[in-house]
Amino acid sequence: MDPYIVLAKEIQGGTFSALRRQNALTQEEMAERLHISCRAYSDLERRKSCASGVTVLFAASMMGLKELHAPVRRFIEGVRAIEQGER
């Protein structure tokens, strides 16, 4: 599997789950806010799929800049590690 997709799934799954819990939302409520199905949302949290760009933007709109910085930074660091053969 593409290492960038694996990286994105890891980061998104944790980020979406944390965001949902911080906002005290059920998976159904979170799916509603992201404009996706409950199944699609569950797959994101379980790291079975990657979010679309639109879904990422909906999630970003729920986050503050400080919260948004951490997953973006982790992705950039992961990409660098992949490109340097460390991952």
pLDDT tens across 3-29, in order?
999 999 999 999 999 999 999 999 999
The answer to whether the beta carbons of residues 28 and 38 sit under 8 Å apart is yes
Q: What is the pLDDT of residue 44?
A: 97
Handedness of CA 42, 45, 46, 52 (dihedral sign): positive
Q: What is the pLDDT of residue 64?
A: 84
pTM of this structure? 0.85
Q: What is the pLDDT of residue 67?
A: 86
Sorted by sequence, the CB contacts under 8 Å of residue 10 that are 6+ apart come out as 47, 78
How far apart are alpha carbons 81 and 63 in whole angstroms?
Answer: 26
